[in-house]
Structure 1
Amino acid sequence: MILTNYKSDNYYAKINQSKIYVDYVNSLAKIVDFHNISVQNIKRLVHFASRQHLGKIICNCDAASFKNFIKAGFKLEGKIDSYFKGESAFCMSYFISKKRKLYNKHSMENLILIQSLNAESTFVPDTTLKYNIRYAEKRDAKQMSELFSKVFFECPSPLFDEKYLKDNMNKRILYKTAVYNGKIISAASAYLNEEDLNAELINCATHPNYRNKGVVSNIISSFESDLISMGYMGIYSLSRATCTSINFALSKNNYKFRGRLINNCNIYGEFEDMNIWVKDFNN
């Protein structure tokens, strides 16, 4: 997810053979292992999440499990094409807290969405700024942490930590940068799901002095080319519904809007809605 917070005491647990991730900062639980899960087991997981005083429980399930989640009281909030080796994932949510269902920025979010959809597939790179897009190296960690701190203000995962960036680089998280005159002016990362052959685009950031030039859009396009060559079948991103720039960038790069996750992430101290944007490499 873009701009989700980090906390070391989040953990995985197994409840009746089903794996669940407990995320205290975002006050939610994510069901990770759902194959052959029964309605009764789903309800047990909801009960467990409720006992942890969490507000929401989510799962990206496959078509075979969809009906059982509906029967257990879950709501479909969106879809991610080509999530499971070419098959779609259904973004299912159960709101434990009644307040968690409510959102107050509906009009603004829909206006941003409409404007973004109107810009679909219109990306044209600005060739006046000569920069180089490349994979990040460990020596880039200091500049990258400075860029992320300037753009995000608060830490979405430990991105301000140089050691974290170095330790995670080129493992399950790929980082790309745009370099201009020896300075990193933009960066983004892709979280790889090697088992299901999908990737999540996260942490897109451009220095304020170099915005509106399509830099991050070019990084996104570069990621897509590499992922296709690696055999991945799709890429998706969860963007803040109130953030104009990232929604525009994804739509311009021909990502498709597939739904909205209500009050999904704790950003800067309040829950925010996340738009689901997807690109299916098979289409």
Structure 2
Amino acid sequence: MDLIEKIGHSLVHHGKFNNRIFLLKYDPNDRANITQKLNELARKNGYTKIIAKIPAAAQPVFLQDGFTQEAFIPAFYKGEDDVFFMSKFLSDERNASPNEALNTLANLLNEAPNNNGVALDDRFDLGLAKPEHAAEMSKIFGKVFATYPFPVTNPEYINKTMQDGSVIYFGVWDQDQLIGVSSAEVDAENKNAEMTDFAVLPDYRGHKLAYFLLKLMEEKLKEKEYKTLYTIARLNSPGMNKTFINHGYHFSGLLKNNTNISGQIESMNVYYKTIE
């Protein structure tokens, strides 16, 4: 599994599983040499992509080093400053464009949001997931995803992220059986959250459970006064993209060949929503 560690004062996620470096948290104290350090780490390990999530003020540093903008989210930091996803591709294969899937996305984005007649079946219950649900949750992730960029198939990882407050988990139950999960990776300081880890058992697809999980997640985060919600959704999952479009999220860019999920490196779409 890939590592999460610091380069200087900044936090990075890197390894051969995703064959990339992801700068998760940029520290301005590293401005003078951050791109040099990222390039050195990529060369040393033979990675084929570097992606950096950075505030607007840092963008010139990355542009100067040959990074290009793939996506952005406005009002990301405390509802004020924007964030940019800047990437550098280190192989032609990694930089290839997924044209066929982009045609499907273009069609989705041109469709009007449609929530007519959407109602949750009375047999299902939604709520916050707790530590005692970690083992069940990890099994669901294992059944839904052949591979995943974070160790969500490990109950200890789920428990750890619950306890440190970095992730809020949600579930949907059929009677006493957990059948679907999702999570919000929260940045309490900057009042933003990533809506992620949607997984529903195959036998329960078609009930729009992801739609209702997302609705509950938004309600809980609005109560906590979060300002900006976003997701990084698989380009190859039209249904998940449509779920966010129907909830009023705005498409703001494509992260090409970015993430190892469901057994292969896939391109990911960025969507955001500002909470009033």
Q: Normalising by structure 1, what TM-score?
A: 0.86
After superposition, the C-alpha distances for 1:256-278 in whole angstroms (9 at most, x for unaligned) are: 11100011112344321000011
Q: Is the 8 A contact 1:109 1:242 kept in 2?
A: no
Percentage of matched positions with identical amino acids: 25
Secondary structure, counterpart of 1:146 in structure 2: helix
1:81-230 matches, cutoff 5 A: 81-86=74-79, 87-103=81-97, 105-120=98-113, 122=115, 124-169=117-162, 171-230=165-224
Q: Distance in 1 between matches of 2:116 and 2:53?
A: 30
Matched with 1:51 is 44
Q: Is the 8 A contact 1:81 1:279 kept in 2?
A: no
The answer to whether residue 31 in structure 2 is matched with residue 23 in structure 1 is: no
> Which residue type is aligned with residue 52 of structure 1?
N
Matched with 2:65 is 72
> Which residue type is aligned with residue 21 of structure 2?
A
After superposition, the C-alpha distances for 1:204-261 in whole angstroms (9 at most, x for unaligned) are: 0122232222221111111111112212111111111011221111111111111000
* Cα 1:155/1:69, change in 2 over 3 Å: closer
Q: Is the 8 A contact 2:145 2:262 kept in 1?
A: no
Q: Is the 8 A contact 2:77 2:190 kept in 1?
A: yes
Q: Is the 8 A contact 1:25 1:266 kept in 2?
A: yes
- How many residues of Structure 1 are paired with residues of Structure 2 in the alignment? 273
After superposition, the C-alpha distances for 1:127-184 in whole angstroms (9 at most, x for unaligned) are: 4443221111222223222322222233552222233323332521111111121122
Q: Distance in 2 between matches of 1:268 and 1:207?
A: 14
1:237 to 231, 235, 243: 231
- Mind listing any 5+ residue stretches in structure 1 that lack a counterpart? 1-6
Give how far 1:63 is off: 1.7
- The one of the two structures with greater contact order (alpha-carbon pairs below 8 A, sep at least 6) is 1
* Cα 1:121/1:255, change in 2 over 3 Å: farther
Q: Distance in 1 between matches of 2:94 and 2:153?
A: 29
* Cα 1:153/1:124, change in 2 over 3 Å: farther
Secondary structure, counterpart of 1:99 in structure 2: coil
Q: Distance in 2 between matches of 1:123 and 1:195?
A: 36
Matched with 1:4 is none
The answer to whether residue 267 in structure 2 is matched with residue 273 in structure 1 is: yes
* Cα 1:121/1:35, change in 2 over 3 Å: farther
Secondary structure, counterpart of 1:100 in structure 2: coil
> Which residue type is aligned with residue 199 of structure 2?
A
Q: Is the 8 A contact 2:71 2:255 kept in 1?
A: yes
